[in-house]
Amino acid sequence: MQDSVSFSDLKPAVMRRVHAIWFVRRVLPWVVLEGAAMYVVLEQLAGRVFVNHVLANAALHTFARSPFALLQYFMQALMHTNLFVQLLIAGSAIFSILLIRELWRVMQFAATELRPHNFQRVYNVT
């Protein structure tokens, strides 16, 4: 006996495939590029700045003061570094913002497209 496949059963499978192809062609290359660039920036930054020492000095010099003293300490530390380190810090901040933006988009996509009614069973025609 041959099972008939209705359009409502076939549509979710086709749309999943369309979304997967769109993701691989349009989104994945940019995500890989952003990830590689962020890795390079953070690797360079880690080689030039001892983050543990900066945080330890911040705790030592601004302990029991206001949060504004901590912000002032970080701004002074940033202003007294060389230009390359400042560019690396700016780059890591930009890539962090881009990463947060991408995560927000994925969460919105998951909330709208990955609902249980979109995963209906599709019967194969034999």
Q: pLDDT tens digits for the chain (126 residues)?
A: 455 667 677 788 788 888 888 878 887 888 888 889 889 988 998 888 888 888 888 888 777 677 788 888 889 988 999 999 999 999 989 988 988 888 788 778 777 766 555 444 444 444
User: pLDDT tens, 68-87?
Assistant: 888 888 899 889 999 999 99
Nearest residue to 102 via CA among 42, 47, 35, 41: 35
The pLDDT value given to residue 58: 83
d(CA 119, CA 113): 10
Note the pTM of the prediction, 2 decimals.
Answer: 0.60
Residue 116 CB coordination number (10 Å)? 6
Nearest residue to 118 via CA among 110, 3, 24: 110
